Structure 1
Amino acid sequence: MKKWSMIIGFCLLLTAAGCSKDMANRDVYEESGDTINVNNKREELYNEGGSRGVRNVSDDYGFVRHQKSPIQNDRGGTEHYSAIDREQVANIISQLSTDVPNVNDVATLVTDQEVLIAYSSDTKNRNQTADQVKRTAMSVVPRFYHVYVSDDKNLMRDVENLANLDSTSRNARNSVNQLITLMKKSPQGNRMSDSEDENGATANDTINRTKR
């Protein structure tokens, strides 16, 4: 009996060690990959550690840049979590957009009412690709959001720079509007519906945005 107890105890010890090693490897894997987060504040984003570092994440713009993996359907070890803040929404949109054919690099900014997506692409049908990227974003965000896209890769840096602005400042809103104007020079895809334009905005939405 004593011999069997020692064998069982040894097996349990090996199992515990194996689990610890697996969890350590999983942490390393999930923190690597090909996603580039500008606001890399994991504790605050996911509210780890209880009340430590609590902030109102809804006041911040969310930005994520994601590059296509050479391995098909590879997410770089990340998962699609429920959207709990803007940066997480940007992360999901950027990941899904790299699944669109001919889209290789995506920079996504999520504000309180818009999604701005700049991407590099080698597509031969710019409008079709723009429509696919836009509708991908539309499937993630609430329906009142407007989505603007651009295949001008030079605008990717402009999208990234907006992530560093204070989203509550008037200068931030003006900068967003200016970038939207530049992005709309690129194909925006097809109209979302009879009452909504290519970006999901109605006539009233457009009037309200110009008044802000």
Structure 2
Amino acid sequence: MLKKLIVIAGLCTITALTGCTKDTGNRDVYEESGNTINVNNKRHELYNEGASRGVRNVSDNYGFVRHQKSPIMNDNTANDGYTALDREQLANIISKYSVNVPNVNDAATLVTDQEVLIAYVTDSKDRNMTADQVKKTAFSVVPRYYHVYVTDNKALMRDVENLANLDSTSRNARHAVTELITQMKKSPQGMRLSDSENENGETPDDMDIKRINMHKR
């Protein structure tokens, strides 16, 4: 009789543990609270699963994201582990990393098919060093053929945001991006990337192509 009770008790314990494990798996480990990310939500956000959500053609859209520095000290939410799958995700990563740069409190990032435009707010006394740091956050995540332009002119932040609403396939959009880049380059751009590339990652060939395209318009 005693042995039978022990066996029954053991089976109950195993059943309870199995139920807990299954329940935990359904919750997918994390609940959304504070800086903790719900894995299911994050997976949907990154991969646009489900046709009912209306998956967009990311190649035909600019990506725009703006971030402000968290008031919580050592809040490293920039390290969320996002994968750069489309332009909006790239803009998200770059803006998050930018506000982790010392003295940068607000950053708006636009990602096109070949450029990254970052407008940020800073109280840095060394504008060129801060520009270099912000610029390098972008170069660390985008494909190498991209060019990066930065500005600490707060007035241009709205212009960067407005570009996100344009149809990226239109000629007007390309002209607007070019014009804004011209204005942004009046701000410090940091140091040259290499002997063959200027501060924005442009080579002499890149500059020639841009001049030719400008004359075509």
Which TM-score band applies after superposition, normalised by the shorter structure? Answer: 0.7 to 0.9
Measure how far apart 1:21 and its partner are. 5.6
Q: 2-side partners of 1:187 and 1:162: how far apart?
A: 21
What SS does structure 1 have at the residue aligned with 2:15?
helix
**2:138–2:148: 8 Å Cα contact kept in structure 1?**
yes
2:65 match: 64
What SS does structure 2 have at the residue aligned with 1:25?
coil
2:170 match: 169
Paired AA for residue 16 in structure 2:
F
2:76 match: 74
Q: 2-side partners of 1:30 and 1:43: how far apart?
A: 12
**1:68–1:105: 8 Å Cα contact kept in structure 2?**
yes
2:122 match: 121
2:4 match: none
Deviations 1:93-142 (A, max 9, x none): 11111221111111110101110000001100001100111122112111
Give me the CA root mean square deviation: 2.6
Paired AA for residue 30 in structure 1:
I
1:26 match: 32
Q: 1-side partners of 2:144 and 2:111: how far apart?
A: 14
1:87 match: 88
Indicate the larger mover: 125-134 or 65-74. Answer: 65-74
**2:131–2:188: 8 Å Cα contact kept in structure 1?**
yes
Deviations 1:20-70 (A, max 9, x none): 567562388438xxxxxxxxxx95862212696344211111111112222
How many equivalent residue pairs?
201
Q: 1-side partners of 2:109 and 2:31: how far apart?
A: 29
Q: 1-side partners of 2:161 and 2:22: how far apart?
A: 43
**1:61–1:111: 8 Å Cα contact kept in structure 2?**
yes
Higher helix content, 1 or 2: 2
Q: Mark the structure with the bigger radius of gyration.
A: 2
Indicate the larger mover: 15-24 or 87-96. Answer: 15-24
1:2 match: 8
Deviations 1:67-106 (A, max 9, x none): 2222315207x62333211111111111111221111111
What SS does structure 2 have at the residue aligned with 1:147?
strand
Paired AA for residue 149 in structure 1:
V
Paired AA for residue 75 in structure 1:
T
Q: 2-side partners of 1:30 and 1:161: how far apart?
A: 30
Q: 1-side partners of 2:104 and 2:192: how far apart?
A: 21
Q: Which runs of 4+ in 1 moved over 6 A?
A: none
1:36 match: none
Paired AA for residue 64 in structure 2:
F
Q: Percent identity?
A: 61
Paired AA for residue 37 in structure 2:
E
Q: 1-side partners of 2:148 and 2:195: how far apart?
A: 17
What SS does structure 2 have at the residue aligned with 1:109?
strand
What SS does structure 1 have at the residue aligned with 2:141?
coil
